């Protein structure tokens, strides 16, 4: 019974287990950006926001602004935490309309090297990866409202709530008015 409860509390990963076993957990995007050819063939989890999606003859090319991933591999919302950009290639058909600019994604990719291209007026070296798994996160505006304390709807992180706190007359929380 204890094993059941522990497995239920452990959570659920958005990445399939067979793919997650291939990932090198010690590898960071900063290391890959510094020397992409050194890590060629390694598998990494990357999160980010799509800047551009282009359908090529045999694959789809995604230009992604890297964002750090948090719990359950969901990318951060704050763009200032980015460590740079990378190019991801999907060999199976992926319609660019399904991943418009601004879409947040988490992907598992195999590092294939680097490409240097013009970014505005400078040469920029993009690490390149081939996508093995892609998770598209819903836009915050697409999430249904959640109802918190006192029945007021709120939009946003489902784990945020007005939790227990200390007030001038003691502890205020979910069991405030239960007397023993």
Alpha carbon distances (Å) from 64 to 53, 58, 124, 140, 151: 9, 19, 13, 19, 38
For residue 53, give every residue at least 6 positions away whose Cβ sits within 8 Å of its Cβ, in sequence order, or none.
60, 61, 62, 63, 94, 96, 99, 100, 101
Mark 44-60 as b/e (b = at least 16 C-beta within 10 Å): bbbbbbbeebeeeeebb
Domains of the chain, residue spans: 11-139
Q: Across the strands, what pairs with 82?
A: none
Inter-CA distances, 80 with 65, 75, 89, Å: 10, 12, 24
Round the CA-based radius of gyration of the chain to a whole number and report it.
Answer: 21
The more confidently predicted of residues 71 and 89 is 89
- Residue 1 binned pLDDT confidence (cut-offs 50, 70, 90): very low
Which residue's entry shows tokens 């598209």? 136
Question: Is the model more confident about 178 or about 137?
Answer: 137
How far is the C-alpha of 106 from the C-alpha of 98, rounded, in Å? 15
Say what the pLDDT of residue 80 is: 93
Find the mean pLDDT for residues 166-178. 51
Q: Which of 32-46, 85-99, 138-152 has the lowest mean pLDDT?
A: 138-152
Per-residue confidence band for 14, with pLDDT thresholds at 50, 70 and 90 = confident
Instruction: Note the pLDDT tens digit of each residue in 77-123.
Output: 899 999 999 999 999 989 999 999 999 999 999 999 999 999 999 99
What is the SS3 assignment for 30? helix
Per the document, the length of the chain is 180
Q: Does domain 11-139 have CATH number 2.40.50.140?
A: yes
**In terms of Cα–Cα distance, which of 60, 122, 106, 58 is closest to 87?**
60
Q: Residue 89: beta bridge partners?
A: 61, 130
* Alpha carbons 46 and 174: distance in angstroms, whole number: 38
């Amino acid at each position: 019974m204890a094993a059941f409860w522990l497995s239920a509390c452990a959570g659920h990963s958005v990445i399939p287990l067979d793919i997650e076993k291939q990932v090198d957990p010690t590898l960071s995007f900063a290391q890959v950006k510094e020397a992409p050819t050194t890590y060629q063939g390694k598998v990494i989890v990357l999160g980010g926001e799509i800047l551009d999606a282009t359908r090529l003859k045999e694959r789809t090319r995604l230009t992604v602004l890297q964002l750090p991933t948090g719990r359950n591999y969901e990318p951060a919302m704050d763009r200032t935490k980015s460590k740079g950009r990378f190019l991801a290639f999907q060999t199976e058909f992926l319609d660019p309309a399904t991943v418009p600019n601004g879409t947040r994604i988490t992907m598992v990719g195999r590092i294939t090297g680097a490409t240097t291209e013009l970014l505005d007026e400078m040469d920029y070296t993009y690490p390149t990866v081939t996508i093995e798994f892609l998770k598209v996160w819903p836009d915050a505006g697409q999430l249904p409202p959640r109802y918190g304390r006192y029945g007021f709807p709120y939009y946003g992180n489902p784990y945020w709530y007005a939790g227990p706190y200390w007030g001038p007359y003691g502890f205020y929380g979910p069991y405030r008015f239960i007397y023993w």
